[in-house]
Amino acid sequence: MSKSARPSPDLFMDAVWAFMRSSAIKAAIELEVFTHIDAGADTAAAIATKNGAAERGIRILCDGLTVMGFLTKTKGRYALTADTAAFLSRKSPAYMGDTIGFLQAPHMLAAFGDLTNAVRKGGHALTEKGNTETEAAAWVDFARSMGGLQRPVARELAGMIEKKPGDTFAVLDVAAGHGVYGITVAEKFENASITALDWEPVLTVARENAANAGILGRFRTIGGDAFRVRLGGPYDVVLLPNFLHHFNAEQCTTFLKRVAKVLKDDGVVLTFEHMPEEDRTSPAPAVMFAMTMLATTPEGDAYTVAEYSKMFAEAGIPKTEVRNLSVARGRALVSRK
């Protein structure tokens, strides 16, 4: 065996120590290290003065972030990479740092901390329903933390709506959370009326965001269980971003039958999801997303395009086409009766 072909423990060690990397990013965001560097504080001493941390701590953290690829360092001065400046400085309109409020929340870390038992069980091992629990507090965290991340996707989905700017039409935003998807449609189409469906505590965040966007007059809410509450309608557009993956295929089909009943004959359902290829080994983000569903839900999954198409067809919405997005790792489905 040649030297270059010798087995290496590097992959294993990188995986085992991965928590150090995520912890370092969390610390940097909480201490606003990237924002301070972007504002001109480019030495450990200067950053420590800005955020009140120990200079030694900042130096060690920033050196680690440099090795990880988030910073560069020249003669003791740190600088942001292009990606870090775009997504991790609060000075950027594309700032994503708030997502740690959900992605590294205690309940998420606890769920993955018991992944061995989740694998044995085939789903979330700590509670009966995990993140699908009635009015789970996690979804308020989600609504407050994840809205900014969803704006680019929301704009692309809104662009798939085949309406003229002055057209009047009704939209149902399922599991609205932060409300960004429906709000984005309302911003693009001045006569669109939005109905946001979610648990009542979560809708507080959606209403705040709608008020800030100036569209509250065209924004109403339905609070309750999406599988049980009256959906109203009929609707021209139903938005289904990041919802179906929480449930098994039978439950998804059951819910889509509810959607079919309130969708106009010429209406459209827009779905955004992480969808692996048929062999379930690519793309990597979709494959790993299935792991999140294993850890946090009883029976959720990352479904393939074929599986989603079957669900929609069985629910009476048989015409589904796939759209690739330029701004996200997931894909969109455009479904019609």
**Could you read off the pLDDT of 228-277 as tens digits, one per residue?**
999 999 999 999 999 999 999 999 999 999 999 999 999 999 999 999 99
Label each residue of 204-242 as H, E or C.
Answer: HHHHHHHHHHCCHHHEEEEECCCCCCCCCCCEEEEEEEC
> In the predicted model, is pLDDT for residue 315 greater than 60?
yes
- Least Cα distance to 172 among 300, 271, 245 occurs for 271
Q: How many CB atoms lie under 10 A from the CB of residue 95?
A: 18
Give the other-Cβ count within 10 Å of 96's Cβ: 16
Confidence band (pLDDT; 50, 70, 90) for 3? low
> Does pLDDT of 136 surpass 80?
no
> Model confidence at 2, in pLDDT bands (50, 70, 90)?
low
pLDDT of residue 272: 97
Start-to-end C-alpha separation, the chain: 59
Q: Where in the chain is the domain with CATH 3.40.50.150?
A: 102-336
Q: Where in the chain is the domain with CATH 1.10.10.10?
A: 3-95
Look up the pTM and report it: 0.90
Q: CATH topology for 3-95? A: Arc Repressor Mutant, subunit A (1.10.10)
pLDDT: which is higher, 94 or 197 = 197
- What's the pLDDT at 266? 96
pLDDT in tens, 316-334: 999 999 999 987 778 999 9
CATH class of 102-336: alpha beta
- Residue 128: pLDDT band (50, 70, 90) is confident
pLDDT of 263: 98
pLDDT at 4: 63
Predicted local distance difference test score (pLDDT) of residue 1: 45
**Residue 65 pLDDT more than 60?**
yes
